[in-house]
Amino acid sequence: MRASVGDRLHVHAAHVGEADRTGEIIEVKGDSGTPPYLVRFDDGHQGLVFPGPDAVVECAAGGDTAPDSPSDG
């Protein structure tokens, strides 16, 4: 998974009835766009995230899934 500042992180809910979490990547801590990411979530919460298989990076330019991200296939 690779991301850039300004991309969006979309974490899919783990349980039925839970909402997905989305937020803006405001800092990339790893090398060459790799995790961890500092994310400002839409609810105002900010945290360091090591995305799992339930997360997708959405590129800021065009809104497509970033390379090396799992697809919604």
Question: What pLDDT digit, counting tens, does each position of 31-65 carry?
Answer: 999 999 999 999 999 999 999 999 999 998 765 55
Q: Is residue 69 part of a domain?
A: no
Q: Is residue 72 part of a domain?
A: no
Q: How many domains does the chain have?
A: 1
Q: Is residue 50 part of a domain?
A: yes
**What's the one-letter identity of residue 20?**
D
CA dihedral 28, 34, 40, 46 (to 10 degrees): -90
Determine the pLDDT at residue 60.
86
Instruction: Tell me the torsion sign for CA atoms 17, 22, 27, 32.
Output: positive
Q: Is residue 71 part of a domain?
A: no
Q: Based on C-alpha coordinates, what's the Rg of the chain?
A: 11
Q: Do the beta carbons of residue 25 and residue 39 sit within 8 Å? A: yes
In angstroms, the CA 62 to CA 7 distance is 10
Residue 35 sits in which domain range?
8-58
